[in-house]
Protein backbone atom coordinates (compact mmCIF):
# COMPACT_ATOMS: atom_id res chain seq x y z
CA UNK A 1 0.00 0.00 0.00
CA UNK A 2 1.33 3.43 -0.93
CA UNK A 3 2.43 5.81 1.81
CA UNK A 4 -0.49 8.18 1.17
CA UNK A 5 -2.99 5.36 1.74
CA UNK A 6 -1.15 4.17 4.83
CA UNK A 7 -1.42 7.69 6.26
CA UNK A 8 -5.16 7.80 5.55
CA UNK A 9 -5.58 4.35 7.10
CA UNK A 10 -3.64 5.29 10.23
CA UNK A 11 -5.51 8.57 10.63
CA UNK A 12 -8.93 6.93 10.21
CA UNK A 13 -7.95 4.05 12.52
CA UNK A 14 -6.87 6.39 15.30
CA UNK A 15 -10.01 8.51 14.87
CA UNK A 16 -12.23 5.42 14.99
CA UNK A 17 -10.51 4.11 18.13
CA UNK A 18 -10.62 7.47 19.88
CA UNK A 19 -14.03 8.80 18.82
CA UNK A 20 -16.24 5.98 17.53
CA UNK A 21 -15.52 2.91 19.66
CA UNK A 22 -16.53 4.66 22.93
CA UNK A 23 -20.05 5.33 21.56
CA UNK A 24 -20.56 2.22 19.40
CA UNK A 25 -22.36 0.20 22.08
CA UNK A 26 -24.63 3.12 22.94
CA UNK A 27 -25.49 3.58 19.26
CA UNK A 28 -26.72 0.00 19.15
CA UNK A 29 -28.39 -0.05 22.54
CA UNK A 30 -30.30 3.22 22.18
CA UNK A 31 -30.55 3.33 18.37
CA UNK A 32 -28.58 6.55 18.79
CA UNK A 33 -27.14 8.49 15.85
CA UNK A 34 -24.20 10.68 16.98
CA UNK A 35 -24.81 13.81 14.91
CA UNK A 36 -21.96 15.79 16.48
CA UNK A 37 -19.52 12.95 15.82
CA UNK A 38 -20.70 12.73 12.23
CA UNK A 39 -20.04 16.43 11.75
CA UNK A 40 -16.61 15.95 13.31
CA UNK A 41 -15.89 13.38 10.62
CA UNK A 42 -16.54 16.19 8.15
CA UNK A 43 -14.11 18.50 9.89
CA UNK A 44 -11.49 15.74 9.75
CA UNK A 45 -11.91 15.58 5.96
CA UNK A 46 -13.45 12.11 5.79
CA UNK A 47 -16.89 12.94 4.41
CA UNK A 48 -15.74 14.66 1.21
CA UNK A 49 -12.71 12.50 0.56
CA UNK A 50 -13.44 12.05 -3.19
CA UNK A 51 -14.32 15.73 -3.75
CA UNK A 52 -11.72 18.30 -4.95
CA UNK A 53 -10.38 20.76 -2.41
CA UNK A 54 -11.99 23.77 -4.13
CA UNK A 55 -15.39 22.39 -3.11
CA UNK A 56 -14.32 21.62 0.46
CA UNK A 57 -13.21 18.05 -0.07
CA UNK A 58 -9.93 16.20 0.40
CA UNK A 59 -9.21 15.63 -3.29
CA UNK A 60 -8.50 11.93 -2.93
CA UNK A 61 -9.96 8.81 -4.59
CA UNK A 62 -12.30 5.87 -4.04
CA UNK A 63 -9.65 3.64 -2.50
CA UNK A 64 -9.16 6.32 0.16
CA UNK A 65 -12.92 6.36 0.70
CA UNK A 66 -12.95 2.57 0.96
CA UNK A 67 -10.10 2.60 3.50
CA UNK A 68 -12.00 5.09 5.65
CA UNK A 69 -15.17 3.02 5.24
CA UNK A 70 -13.36 -0.08 6.50
CA UNK A 71 -11.83 1.64 9.53
CA UNK A 72 -15.09 3.29 10.59
CA UNK A 73 -16.99 0.02 10.11
CA UNK A 74 -14.42 -1.84 12.22
CA UNK A 75 -15.42 0.38 15.14
CA UNK A 76 -19.12 0.60 14.25
CA UNK A 77 -20.78 -1.07 11.30
CA UNK A 78 -23.77 1.23 11.62
CA UNK A 79 -21.74 4.43 11.49
CA UNK A 80 -19.86 2.97 8.53
CA UNK A 81 -23.20 2.45 6.79
CA UNK A 82 -24.27 6.05 7.40
CA UNK A 83 -20.86 7.26 6.28
CA UNK A 84 -21.18 5.35 2.99
CA UNK A 85 -24.71 6.66 2.38
CA UNK A 86 -23.58 10.24 2.92
CA UNK A 87 -20.10 10.26 1.38
CA UNK A 88 -20.60 7.90 -1.55
CA UNK A 89 -24.28 7.52 -2.37
CA UNK A 90 -25.23 11.18 -1.93
CA UNK A 91 -22.20 13.47 -1.92
CA UNK A 92 -19.99 11.80 -4.52
CA UNK A 93 -22.96 11.20 -6.83
CA UNK A 94 -24.00 14.83 -6.53
CA UNK A 95 -20.50 16.12 -7.20
CA UNK A 96 -19.88 13.83 -10.20
CA UNK A 97 -23.19 14.48 -11.90
CA UNK A 98 -24.37 17.84 -10.62
CA UNK A 99 -24.21 21.21 -12.33
CA UNK A 100 -21.84 23.92 -11.15
CA UNK A 101 -24.80 25.52 -9.38
CA UNK A 102 -25.52 22.33 -7.43
CA UNK A 103 -21.86 21.78 -6.63
CA UNK A 104 -21.42 25.25 -5.21
CA UNK A 105 -24.71 25.22 -3.30
CA UNK A 106 -24.60 21.78 -1.68
CA UNK A 107 -21.22 20.07 -1.93
CA UNK A 108 -19.19 22.20 0.55
CA UNK A 109 -21.85 21.86 3.26
CA UNK A 110 -21.98 18.09 2.75
CA UNK A 111 -18.19 17.84 2.86
CA UNK A 112 -18.02 19.74 6.15
CA UNK A 113 -20.81 17.74 7.75
CA UNK A 114 -22.89 20.86 8.26
CA UNK A 115 -25.50 19.07 6.15
CA UNK A 116 -26.19 15.34 6.24
CA UNK A 117 -26.86 13.60 2.93
CA UNK A 118 -29.00 10.69 1.84
CA UNK A 119 -30.02 8.82 -1.33
CA UNK A 120 -33.68 8.24 -2.13
CA UNK A 121 -34.18 5.31 -4.52
CA UNK A 122 -36.00 2.36 -2.90
CA UNK A 123 -39.81 2.50 -2.73
CA UNK A 124 -42.40 0.36 -0.92
CA UNK A 125 -43.26 -1.45 -4.17
CA UNK A 126 -39.88 -1.27 -5.94
CA UNK A 127 -36.91 -2.50 -3.96
CA UNK A 128 -34.91 -4.92 -6.09
CA UNK A 129 -36.70 -3.66 -9.21
CA UNK A 130 -35.50 -0.08 -8.75
CA UNK A 131 -36.32 1.03 -12.29
CA UNK A 132 -40.03 0.38 -11.70
CA UNK A 133 -40.23 3.28 -9.23
CA UNK A 134 -43.54 5.15 -9.03
CA UNK A 135 -42.44 8.49 -7.56
CA UNK A 136 -43.13 11.09 -10.25
CA UNK A 137 -41.88 14.55 -11.14
CA UNK A 138 -44.33 16.22 -13.51
CA UNK A 139 -43.06 19.19 -15.48
CA UNK A 140 -45.00 22.42 -15.77
CA UNK A 141 -43.45 25.60 -17.24
CA UNK A 142 -39.90 24.54 -16.43
CA UNK A 143 -40.67 23.49 -12.85
CA UNK A 144 -41.44 20.03 -11.50
CA UNK A 145 -43.97 18.73 -8.98
CA UNK A 146 -42.67 15.74 -7.03
CA UNK A 147 -45.09 13.17 -5.58
CA UNK A 148 -44.46 9.77 -4.03
CA UNK A 149 -42.35 8.18 -1.32
CA UNK A 150 -39.08 6.37 -0.65
CA UNK A 151 -38.44 3.80 2.06
CA UNK A 152 -35.54 1.96 3.75
CA UNK A 153 -33.59 5.19 3.29
CA UNK A 154 -30.35 5.38 5.28
CA UNK A 155 -29.91 8.70 7.14
CA UNK A 156 -33.48 9.75 6.24
CA UNK A 157 -34.52 10.76 9.78
CA UNK A 158 -31.64 13.27 10.03
CA UNK A 159 -30.66 14.17 6.47
CA UNK A 160 -30.83 17.73 5.15
CA UNK A 161 -30.12 16.97 1.48
CA UNK A 162 -31.51 14.07 -0.56
CA UNK A 163 -30.58 12.83 -4.01
CA UNK A 164 -33.96 11.52 -5.18
CA UNK A 165 -34.79 9.54 -8.30
CA UNK A 166 -38.19 10.17 -9.86
CA UNK A 167 -40.02 9.14 -12.98
CA UNK A 168 -40.28 11.89 -15.61
CA UNK A 169 -42.63 10.41 -18.16
CA UNK A 170 -41.16 7.11 -19.32
CA UNK A 171 -37.66 8.02 -18.12
CA UNK A 172 -35.97 8.70 -14.77
CA UNK A 173 -34.41 11.92 -13.50
CA UNK A 174 -32.49 12.56 -10.26
CA UNK A 175 -33.27 15.70 -8.25
CA UNK A 176 -31.91 17.38 -5.16
CA UNK A 177 -34.56 17.66 -2.46
CA UNK A 178 -34.06 19.63 0.74
CA UNK A 179 -35.65 18.60 4.01
CA UNK A 180 -37.05 22.14 4.27
CA UNK A 181 -38.88 21.98 0.94
CA UNK A 182 -42.63 22.53 1.29
CA UNK A 183 -44.43 19.21 0.92
CA UNK A 184 -41.51 17.11 2.17
CA UNK A 185 -42.04 14.98 5.28
CA UNK A 186 -40.53 12.02 7.11
CA UNK A 187 -42.03 8.86 8.52
CA UNK A 188 -41.11 7.18 11.80
CA UNK A 189 -37.55 5.91 12.15
CA UNK A 190 -37.29 2.13 11.75
CA UNK A 191 -36.32 -0.05 14.71
CA UNK A 192 -33.92 -2.48 13.01
CA UNK A 193 -32.39 -5.79 14.07
CA UNK A 194 -28.85 -4.66 13.29
CA UNK A 195 -27.04 -1.53 12.13
CA UNK A 196 -28.85 0.25 14.92
CA UNK A 197 -27.76 3.86 15.25
CA UNK A 198 -27.64 4.20 11.48
CA UNK A 199 -31.01 5.95 11.10
CA UNK A 200 -33.35 4.47 8.51
CA UNK A 201 -36.83 5.59 7.53
CA UNK A 202 -39.37 6.66 4.92
CA UNK A 203 -39.66 10.05 3.21
CA UNK A 204 -42.73 11.50 1.50
CA UNK A 205 -43.22 14.05 -1.27
CA UNK A 206 -46.57 15.79 -1.45
CA UNK A 207 -46.53 18.27 -4.34
CA UNK A 208 -42.91 19.27 -3.68
CA UNK A 209 -42.08 22.06 -6.17
CA UNK A 210 -38.60 21.86 -7.69
CA UNK A 211 -36.95 24.18 -10.16
CA UNK A 212 -35.05 22.95 -13.21
CA UNK A 213 -31.80 23.81 -11.42
CA UNK A 214 -32.44 20.95 -8.95
CA UNK A 215 -31.93 18.32 -11.67
CA UNK A 216 -28.77 16.24 -11.19
CA UNK A 217 -27.31 15.59 -14.62
CA UNK A 218 -29.70 15.75 -17.56
CA UNK A 219 -33.47 15.60 -17.69
CA UNK A 220 -34.44 11.97 -18.39
CA UNK A 221 -30.81 10.92 -17.95
CA UNK A 222 -31.23 9.28 -14.58
CA UNK A 223 -30.79 5.65 -15.59
CA UNK A 224 -27.08 6.07 -16.32
CA UNK A 225 -26.59 8.09 -13.13
CA UNK A 226 -28.44 5.45 -11.14
CA UNK A 227 -26.57 2.45 -12.55
CA UNK A 228 -23.10 4.01 -12.33
CA UNK A 229 -23.92 5.15 -8.80
CA UNK A 230 -25.03 1.64 -7.85
CA UNK A 231 -21.76 0.17 -9.10
CA UNK A 232 -19.64 2.60 -7.09
CA UNK A 233 -21.91 2.07 -4.09
CA UNK A 234 -21.44 -1.69 -4.24
CA UNK A 235 -17.69 -1.43 -4.68
CA UNK A 236 -17.23 0.97 -1.76
CA UNK A 237 -19.82 -0.52 0.60
CA UNK A 238 -18.12 -3.90 0.26
CA UNK A 239 -15.65 -2.36 2.72
CA UNK A 240 -18.45 -1.88 5.24
CA UNK A 241 -18.68 -5.68 5.34
CA UNK A 242 -14.90 -6.01 5.34
CA UNK A 243 -14.55 -3.74 8.39
CA UNK A 244 -17.21 -5.72 10.24
CA UNK A 245 -15.52 -9.00 9.29
CA UNK A 246 -12.15 -7.76 10.54
CA UNK A 247 -13.66 -6.80 13.90
CA UNK A 248 -15.32 -10.21 14.23
CA UNK A 249 -12.06 -11.98 13.38
CA UNK A 250 -10.03 -9.95 15.87
CA UNK A 251 -12.58 -10.55 18.63
CA UNK A 252 -12.57 -14.28 17.92
CA UNK A 253 -8.77 -14.60 17.91
CA UNK A 254 -8.51 -12.67 21.16
CA UNK A 255 -11.22 -14.70 22.89
CA UNK A 256 -9.89 -18.05 21.65
CA UNK A 257 -6.43 -17.16 22.97
CA UNK A 258 -7.72 -16.24 26.43
CA UNK A 259 -10.65 -18.60 27.03
CA UNK A 260 -9.57 -21.85 28.69
CA UNK A 261 -11.34 -25.19 28.74
CA UNK A 262 -9.89 -28.49 29.99
CA UNK A 263 -6.91 -26.50 31.24
CA UNK A 264 -5.93 -25.16 27.80
CA UNK A 265 -6.79 -22.13 25.65
CA UNK A 266 -9.51 -23.13 23.21
CA UNK A 267 -7.21 -21.90 20.41
CA UNK A 268 -5.28 -25.14 20.99
CA UNK A 269 -8.22 -27.21 19.77
CA UNK A 270 -8.19 -28.18 16.11
CA UNK A 271 -11.84 -27.39 15.42
CA UNK A 272 -11.34 -23.84 16.68
CA UNK A 273 -8.13 -23.56 14.68
CA UNK A 274 -10.01 -24.67 11.58
CA UNK A 275 -12.62 -21.95 12.12
CA UNK A 276 -9.98 -19.26 12.55
CA UNK A 277 -8.11 -20.44 9.46
CA UNK A 278 -11.20 -20.24 7.25
CA UNK A 279 -12.26 -16.93 8.78
CA UNK A 280 -8.89 -15.32 8.05
CA UNK A 281 -8.75 -16.73 4.53
CA UNK A 282 -12.23 -15.46 3.68
CA UNK A 283 -11.45 -12.05 5.16
CA UNK A 284 -8.21 -11.57 3.24
CA UNK A 285 -9.60 -12.88 -0.04
CA UNK A 286 -12.69 -10.66 0.20
CA UNK A 287 -10.57 -7.60 0.93
CA UNK A 288 -8.10 -8.26 -1.91
CA UNK A 289 -10.95 -8.94 -4.34
CA UNK A 290 -12.77 -5.77 -3.26
CA UNK A 291 -9.66 -3.64 -3.83
CA UNK A 292 -9.20 -5.08 -7.33
CA UNK A 293 -12.89 -4.64 -8.13
CA UNK A 294 -12.82 -1.05 -6.91
CA UNK A 295 -9.88 -0.29 -9.21
CA UNK A 296 -11.82 -1.73 -12.15
CA UNK A 297 -15.01 0.17 -11.30
CA UNK A 298 -13.05 3.41 -11.01
CA UNK A 299 -11.91 2.90 -14.60
CA UNK A 300 -15.37 1.85 -15.82
CA UNK A 301 -18.26 2.98 -13.65
CA UNK A 302 -20.65 0.82 -15.66
CA UNK A 303 -18.73 -2.32 -14.61
CA UNK A 304 -21.57 -4.08 -12.84
CA UNK A 305 -19.85 -7.48 -12.92
CA UNK A 306 -16.97 -6.66 -10.60
CA UNK A 307 -18.99 -4.30 -8.38
CA UNK A 308 -21.72 -6.85 -7.72
CA UNK A 309 -19.19 -9.69 -7.28
CA UNK A 310 -17.16 -7.76 -4.72
CA UNK A 311 -20.07 -6.92 -2.42
CA UNK A 312 -21.63 -10.37 -2.87
CA UNK A 313 -18.47 -12.09 -1.69
CA UNK A 314 -17.61 -9.56 1.02
CA UNK A 315 -21.09 -9.59 2.54
CA UNK A 316 -21.30 -13.38 2.59
CA UNK A 317 -17.79 -13.62 4.02
CA UNK A 318 -18.62 -11.08 6.70
CA UNK A 319 -21.75 -12.94 7.80
CA UNK A 320 -19.83 -16.24 7.82
CA UNK A 321 -16.94 -14.81 9.86
CA UNK A 322 -19.24 -13.12 12.37
CA UNK A 323 -21.31 -16.31 12.74
CA UNK A 324 -18.21 -18.43 13.33
CA UNK A 325 -16.86 -15.86 15.78
CA UNK A 326 -20.09 -16.02 17.74
CA UNK A 327 -19.80 -19.82 17.80
CA UNK A 328 -16.27 -19.55 19.20
CA UNK A 329 -17.63 -17.36 22.00
CA UNK A 330 -20.19 -20.06 22.78
CA UNK A 331 -22.92 -19.02 25.20
CA UNK A 332 -21.23 -15.69 25.88
CA UNK A 333 -21.58 -14.78 22.22
CA UNK A 334 -25.37 -14.85 22.60
CA UNK A 335 -25.35 -12.28 25.39
CA UNK A 336 -25.67 -8.58 24.60
CA UNK A 337 -22.88 -7.68 27.02
CA UNK A 338 -20.43 -9.11 24.49
CA UNK A 339 -19.64 -7.06 21.40
CA UNK A 340 -19.66 -10.03 19.03
CA UNK A 341 -23.45 -10.26 19.37
CA UNK A 342 -23.80 -6.74 17.89
CA UNK A 343 -21.19 -7.41 15.21
CA UNK A 344 -23.08 -10.53 14.14
CA UNK A 345 -26.37 -8.62 13.78
CA UNK A 346 -24.63 -5.86 11.83
CA UNK A 347 -23.02 -8.35 9.46
CA UNK A 348 -26.34 -9.46 7.99
CA UNK A 349 -27.48 -6.13 6.54
CA UNK A 350 -25.17 -5.97 3.51
CA UNK A 351 -26.53 -9.28 2.18
CA UNK A 352 -29.83 -7.39 1.88
CA UNK A 353 -29.06 -3.68 1.58
CA UNK A 354 -27.63 -1.95 -1.52
CA UNK A 355 -29.42 -4.67 -3.50
CA UNK A 356 -29.96 -8.19 -2.19
CA UNK A 357 -27.40 -10.89 -2.85
CA UNK A 358 -30.00 -12.61 -5.00
CA UNK A 359 -30.12 -9.55 -7.27
CA UNK A 360 -26.32 -9.35 -7.28
CA UNK A 361 -26.15 -12.95 -8.50
CA UNK A 362 -28.57 -12.04 -11.29
CA UNK A 363 -26.43 -9.02 -12.23
CA UNK A 364 -23.26 -11.13 -12.23
CA UNK A 365 -24.72 -13.92 -14.37
CA UNK A 366 -26.22 -11.49 -16.89
CA UNK A 367 -22.89 -9.65 -17.17
CA UNK A 368 -21.05 -12.93 -17.71
CA UNK A 369 -23.44 -13.99 -20.48
CA UNK A 370 -23.02 -10.57 -22.12
CA UNK A 371 -19.21 -10.88 -21.97
CA UNK A 372 -19.40 -14.40 -23.42
CA UNK A 373 -21.54 -13.25 -26.32
CA UNK A 374 -19.12 -10.43 -26.93
CA UNK A 375 -16.15 -12.75 -26.81
CA UNK A 376 -14.56 -10.93 -23.87
CA UNK A 377 -14.64 -13.57 -21.12
CA UNK A 378 -11.26 -13.54 -19.36
CA UNK A 379 -10.24 -10.23 -20.90
* Spatial CB neighbours of 104, under 8 Å, sequence gap ≥ 6: 55
233 assigned to active site: yes
C-beta of residue 105 within 8 angstroms of C-beta of residue 94: no
Q: Distance between CA atoms of 15 and 26, rounded to whole angstroms?
A: 18
Q: Distance between CA atoms of 115 and 221, rounded to whole angstroms?
A: 26
Nearest Cα to 251, choosing from 274, 268, 276?
A: 276
Q: Distance between CA atoms of 14 and 8, rounded to whole angstroms?
A: 10
Distances (CA, A) of 372 to 228, 365, 367, 368: 22, 11, 9, 6
C-beta of residue 234 within 8 angstroms of C-beta of residue 311: yes
Bridge-based pairing state of the strands 117-120 and 161-168: parallel
Phi/psi zone of residue 256: left (φ > 0), alpha (ψ -120 to 50 degrees), beta? Answer: alpha
The catalytic position among 233, 324, 339, 341 is 233
DSSP per-residue string spanning 305-372 = HHHHHHHHHHHHHHHHHHHHHHHHHGGGGGSTTSHHHHHHHHHHGGGTTTS-HHHHHHHHHHHHHHHH
Nearest Cα to 31, choosing from 69, 95, 78, 92?
A: 78
- Residues known to be catalytic: 233
Amino acid sequence: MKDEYLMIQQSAREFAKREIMPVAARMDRENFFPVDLFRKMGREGYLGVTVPEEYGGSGSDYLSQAIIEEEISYASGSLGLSYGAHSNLCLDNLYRNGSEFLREKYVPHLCSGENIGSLGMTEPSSGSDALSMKTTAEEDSGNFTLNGSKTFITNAPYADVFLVYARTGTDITPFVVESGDEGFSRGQEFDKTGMRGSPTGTIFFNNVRLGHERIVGDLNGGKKVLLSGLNLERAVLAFNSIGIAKRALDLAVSYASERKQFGRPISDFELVQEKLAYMYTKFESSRLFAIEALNRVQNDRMDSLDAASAILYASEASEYIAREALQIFGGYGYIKDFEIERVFRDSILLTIGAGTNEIRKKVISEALIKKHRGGTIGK
